[in-house]
Amino acid sequence: MKYLIFFILILTMSQAIDLKSYQEKANSLTPQEYDVIVNKSTQAPYTGEFLDNKKHGIYSCKLCKSELYKSDDKFNSNCGWPSFDDEIDGAVKHLPDADGRRVEIVCAKCGGHLGHVFEGEGFTRKNTRHCVNSISLEFKEVKADENIAKAYFAGGCFWGVEYYLEKLDGVKEVISGFMGGHVKNPSYYEVIRTDTGHLEAVEVIYDKTKISFKQIAKTFFEIHDPTQVDGQGPDIGKQYLSAVFVNNDNERETINELIKKLRSNGYDVATKIFDTVEFYEADESHQDYYNKKGSLPYCHGYTKRF
C-alpha cells in the first residue's frame, strides 16, 4: 500500500511540475476554472457548456490549447458531463486517481485536470467513457466533409444488414445499434428482453461522390424481406421490424419512390418511414459480427426486386 501511495505522490508532483511552466496562463483562469484544472475539483453535473454541443470540431485544453478530442468521438452518456469514447492519439495522460479507485485523465502536455476515464460500461463499441469537465475544454468548430453522409436503416437483426451494406463501394463504415425507443443508451439485452421501443438499426457512413442514398436504399430493400410485418425471418418481435429513418424530405421522397416501385412489382411493403432520432451504438461484441464469426447471415440474403 505504501508503494502505491508513493507512486501516486510522484505522479502528482510530475503534474505540478508541468503546470508550473504554465503558471502565467493558469493565473489568468477564473477561480472556478483554476479550481477544476489545477486543484482537480469537479464541475457540477449538467452545468457545462459543452454537455449538449453537437457541432463538428475539436476540443482543446483550456490551459495550453493542445487538441484533445474530436467531436466524432463524443456521445451522450446521460452522466451530466461531456463524454468521449476516444482521445486524440497521445493527447491525454491516464493516471491513478488520488482516491485509489478511479483513473484520472489530464492533458498530456500541461497536466491540467480533465476528469476521469471509465471502461466496461457498454455505452459504445469502444467501451470507454472519458468523463470530462466542460470547464477544462475549449471548442473550435471545424467544417465537416460535405461529401460524407449518414443514413439509417432497420431490417431485422442488425448483424445481417451491416454485413451486406458494408460491402457496397462508397460505404465507409456500417455501425450496428438502436433507434426509435424511449430509453437512453439501451443495452442489447434491454432491447431484446424489455419494451424499450427501439429497433435494431444500422448507421451507414458513406461518400456521396461514390454512392448515393438511393443506391444504398435499393440494396437495403433487396437484402431483407420488406413485406414481413412481424420481424425478419425467424427473428420475431418489434425490435426486428423494417424501417428507414430519414434525415430530410429528399430521403423521404426517395424511400416513397422505391416503395411505390416495389408495390408496382407486386410486393406488399411493410417498411415504415420515421424521422431520424438519436442513434445508439451497440457495444463492440455486436459490430462486424459475421466477419468475426466467419459465417453468413441466417435471415438476410440478396433478392433482386427492382
Distance, CA of 280 to CA of 286 (rounded, Å): 12
Cα-only R_g, the chain:
23
Q: How many CB atoms lie within 10 A of CB 136?
A: 26
Does residue 107 have an active-site annotation?
Answer: no
Contact between 195 and 180 (Cβ < 8 Å): no
**202 DSSP β-pair partners:** 153, 176
Contact between 153 and 164 (Cβ < 8 Å): no
Cell digits of residue 225: 424481406
Contact between 145 and 208 (Cβ < 8 Å): no
Work out whether strand 272-275 and strand 113-119 pair parallel, antiparallel, or are unpaired: unpaired
Of 61, 64, 110, 157, which residue is the catalytic one? 157
Of 61, 107, 110, 131, which residue is the catalytic one? 131
Cell digits of residue 64: 495550453
Does residue 110 have an active-site annotation?
Answer: no
CA angle 288, 160, 272 (to 5 degrees): 125
In angstroms, what CA-CA distances link 82 with 41, 70, 280, 292? 16, 12, 16, 32
DSSP state for residue 112 in the 8-state scheme: -
CA angle 276, 278, 279 (to 5 degrees): 95
- Determine which helix (DSSP H) or strand (DSSP E) holds 92, and give its type and residue range: strand 92-96
**295 DSSP β-pair partners:** none
Q: What is the dihedral of CA 272, 278, 279, 282, to 10 degrees?
A: -120
**Active site positions, annotated:** 131, 157
